[in-house]
A and B are shown apart, each in its own frame.
Chain A
Amino acid sequence: MDRRYDVVIVGAGLAGLRAAIELGEGARAAVISKVFATRSHSGAAQGGIGAAIANEEPDQWEWHMFDTVKGSDYLADQDAVEIMTRDAPNTIFELEHLGVPFNRTPDGRIAQRAFGGHTRDFGKAPVKRACYAADRTGRVILDTLWEQTLRMGVDFFDEHQVLSLIVDEGICTGVVAYELATGAVVAFHCKAVLLATGGAGKLFKTTSNAFASTGDGMALAYRAGAALEDMEFVQFHPTGIYKLGILISEAARGEGGVLRNADGDRFMERYAPVIKDLAPRDMVSRCILKEIQDGRGIGGQAFVHLDLTHLGPDVIGRKLAEIAGFAKTYAGVDVTREPIPVQPTCHYMMGGIAANADGGVMAGDSGTTLPGLFAAGECACVSVHGANRLGCNSLLDTLVFGRRAGAAVRDFIRTTPTPKPSDRFREQTESRLSRLMAADGTEKIGILMAEMQQVMMEHVSVFRQASGLQAALQKIRELRERSNRISIQDQGHCFNRNLLEAIELGHMLDLAEVVILGALDRKESRGAHWREDFPQRDDEKFLHHTMVRLSGRAPELSYRPVTITRFQPRERTY
């Protein structure tokens, strides 16, 4: 089957929906999502969205910009960070106008709270910058944007999984998708495709991400010739529930919660004397693991405690109810009485599809774009997060750059003729699926996936070194080899997750390889990328973005300079 639109947006999270709203009612747009739109993982965002609206305390966008740059360990492109932090206040007010029900101050303005790495006056003390709706900020923004797009009459193709991009003579003119309920292969022909497919946390065993977070968009763009940027920077959030990885938002520490080791010692005071428990995530994650390595994990085990007992039931009820529920349900912990056992959990990809500030996907190092292809949100790298993202900056990123990409697409389709659709691409995908369904190997997808997640966790997470990375690379390549010998046991055409997981596994193995190659190449420690064999930041050699693209069938590395405007790299202490 074939469908025609002006624009196809892949992904119904915040980035995709914000772009759809910007396109407006003039463009014929389709939003495709492999899970039903409101199941997108943006809905899981808890803590808040950062903007210097100064409702609770003095604040300015320059401070926000400084914090973001410093948080990124000076790897973020400062022109892009400036766009984002300057735009942030308007972004919040716009959300409010659309109906987002933020928590309020006593005088009826949007309430704000403290978050990791966000400070006043260029690092002097924590500042309340995160706008929030209890600890369900993502949920309420996702619902509001989705309901607005329903009002506008945007066409949704929920539970349709995009399997390939249509790139005809170097121009992107559509996607090929698979309808979960029927197994139908559908070609969407259009003038522009916007990828907003979110993160890839499922590369790792312990993660706060959803089953849908398999990095499809990144892998599809990579296979279509786009560059992936800074993929070695993977954020581990310090406080996942022990063993489960379910997130306990930084908001818990923003509201006053503290981390304690086996001695009951508030250890972050030692590592970050100024902002303590509100240090950025890369640091806190390393500190937790250091405490554990030094034998100060609780009961000698691989976790520490997050203590909220002193906050009182009122603050917890009004501002942290959701995470209190998670602790109760999954760890059996009443947070008003007992501390929560926590350990770092894979949370966010700083890297992604190399994109400019208008969502244009970069094809070459010189800034040329791949016409017709756009990207925004977590799947893209603009780059505003550099080597480490600050909390509350991702929702902001999805909205600011989702809107800008939507506007750029709107302009692009005005001047672009309708491409001639060809059946070739759908047929290619159909025959690829038939081959996959007919394969009769003995390898099981579930097992390959588990082995990948295990090895990534072991060697490519918070602490890395050459030998481990080499071992991981070898293992990933072996898994790729074995993945050619799978079979699809579900031969049906209705909700065949078995088939789709085989495809997702292929995507993740590609991305794992890119992450490891970047990590091996970067012989320094910066932000979330910590090399035990190179524990210093090395600006002379590595103040650059890592770009990986496919050359033939092999990944090829190159570099792109970092844009520095206002803030020269300095030592990063908190």
Chain B
Amino acid sequence: MDCTFAVYRFDPAVDRKGRYQRYVVPAESGDKVLDCLNRIRWEQDPTLAFRASCAHGICGSDAMVINGRVALACQKLVRDFNTANHFVIEPLPVFQVIKDLVVDLRPFFEKHRAVRPHLVTNGAHPEKERRQSAENQQFIEPALRCILCAACTASCPITRVNPNYLGPAALLRAFRYICDARDAITLERLRKLDDEDGIWGCETMWWCTEVCPKGIPVTKCLGQIKRLLKKEDSSD
């Protein structure tokens, strides 16, 4: 069967603004949207630019807007959409377009770095592993599924109005370290998030959770940070 793709195009070398280009691609219902984009590139138009690597939803390269919703192109199949085999493909919102579907994620990774994303411990390491309860490991487990695809941050309504807001992905990473019982600077981490550009920027709109391709309960994890901060405040 033939699928019709209206794909956002922008080439910084020639275009002043974006446009849409139409492609007709033969596809089967079980094909991924990514397969279709590859087919366009390999068989019709090698100038189409997009990122992709693993092709099964684990590397986080190909978040984009598919028929109005943010998703991974490699994780959505043709049959997942009841749009009469018509597709509209656009780059992630919020971020600046470099070319076609490729956006500049530097601001995204700057925010990730801002939360000190690494374990901080005191004293010498034990000879073997540090102990950690299975419950504690399971508690942070949802955040370990994150593939840094930026789908959540790009979808978040707050990100659109406050460019300084850390956004759900960075806050989720903060949650991962705050709630890891092995980490030694929990309080410091919490304090750093205690403002409108940090955790209180989140207005619990659930968009992040809604779009997360790994099914992470992002909003709930962010809620844990809020809960811990409130607890700290009441104990002060």
Contact = CB atoms under 8 A, between A and B. Distances in A.
A39 B61 contact: yes
B3 interface: no
A433 interface: no
B57 interface: yes
B81 to A, nearest CB: 14
Contact of A110 (B42, B127, B129): B129
Interface stretch (A61-69, A101-109, A255-263, A411-419): A101-109
Contact of B127 (A93, A104, A140, A494): A93
Given A93-B128, A494-B98, A98 B119 contact: yes
A41 B118 contact: no
Given A101-B180, A210-B59, A446-B43, A494 B49 contact: yes
Interface string A489-511: 11011111110000000000000
Contact of A492 (B47, B128, B140, B141): B47
Interface string B64-97: 0000000000010100000000000000000000
Nearest to B11: A492
B13 A150 contact: no
A44 B59 contact: yes
Interface stretch (A1-9, A289-297, A323-331, A384-392): A323-331
On chain B, which size bracket covers the interface?
35 or more
Interface stretch (A23-31, A131-139, A277-285): A131-139
Given A96-B129, A97-B130, A211 B52 contact: yes
Interface string A36-72: 1011110110000000010000000000000000000
B134 A104 contact: yes
B13 A493 contact: yes
B54 interface: yes
B165 to A, nearest CB: 21
Given A139-B144, A329-B57, A495-B102, A147 B117 contact: yes
On chain A, which size bracket covers the interface?
35 or more
Given A101-B180, A103-B134, A38 B56 contact: no
Contacts of B47: 489-490, 492, 498
Nearest to B12: A494
A36 B144 contact: no
B77 A330 contact: yes
Contacts of A39: 51, 53-54, 59-61
B125 interface: yes
A35 interface: yes
Given A148-B118, A492-B13, A494-B13, A101 B56 contact: no
A572 interface: no
B138 interface: yes
A139 B58 contact: yes
Given A97-B125, A110-B129, A495-B98, A44 B54 contact: yes
Contact of A101 (B51, B140, B215): B140
Interface in B118-168: 118-119, 121, 125, 127-134, 136-138, 140-141, 144-145, 147-148
Interface string A189-229: 00000000000000000000011100000000000000000
A244 B214 CA distance: 20
A214 B12 CA distance: 29
B13 A106 contact: no
Nearest to B135: A104
A286 interface: no
Contacts of A96: 129-130
Contacts of B51: 35, 39, 495
B182 interface: yes
B13 A41 contact: no
15 contacts: A35-B53, A44-B59, A104-B134, A109-B129, A147-B117, A325-B214, A326-B56, A329-B77, A330-B77, A489-B47, A494-B12, A494-B98, A495-B51, A495-B100, A497-B49
Given A39-B61, A109-B129, A181-B98, 8 more contacts: A38-B60, A44-B56, A101-B140, A104-B136, A147-B118, A446-B46, A498-B41, A498-B47
Which 8 pairs, one residue from A and one from B, show the smallest C-beta to C-beta distance?
A: A446-B42, A99-B119, A108-B131, A498-B46, A495-B49, A39-B59, A104-B134, A96-B129
